């Protein structure tokens, strides 16, 4: 079935993370775990190494939210 598959690479800046896309991605590929013994909350997303640019784009998305939030707090 994959014999005639075409492999192509998108440039890194092609990946645009928006909140609704991220929500769907997390619902499909994310896991929330509660460890009762240590009262720990865990969140994970598991992907193959070929999806590394997507995970990096998600990390950048979260960092920009954190930076925007800290700027708002400092302005008050």
pLDDT, tens digit, for every residue of 19-75? 999 999 999 989 999 999 999 999 888 888 888 888 989 999 999 888 877 766 666
Is the pLDDT at 2 greater than 80? The verdict is: no
Polymer length in residues for the chain: 76
- Any idea where the domains of the chain sit in the sequence? 48-76
**pLDDT of amino acid 75:** 64
CB-side neighbour CA atoms (13 Å) of 51 = 9
CA distances from 34 to 10, 43, 45 (A): 36, 9, 15
Six-digit token string for 7: 């492999």
pLDDT value at position 20?
93
For residues 68 and 72, what is the distance between their CA atoms, to the nearest angstrom? 6
């Amino acid at each position: 079935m994959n014999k005639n598959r075409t492999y192509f690479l998108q440039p890194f800046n092609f990946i645009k993370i928006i909140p609704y896309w991220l929500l769907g991605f997390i619902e499909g590929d994310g896991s929330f775990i509660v460890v009762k013994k240590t009262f720990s909350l865990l969140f994970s997303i598991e992907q193959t190494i070929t999806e590394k640019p997507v995970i990096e784009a998600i990390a950048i998305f979260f960092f920009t939210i954190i930076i925007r939030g800290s700027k708002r707090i400092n302005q008050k």
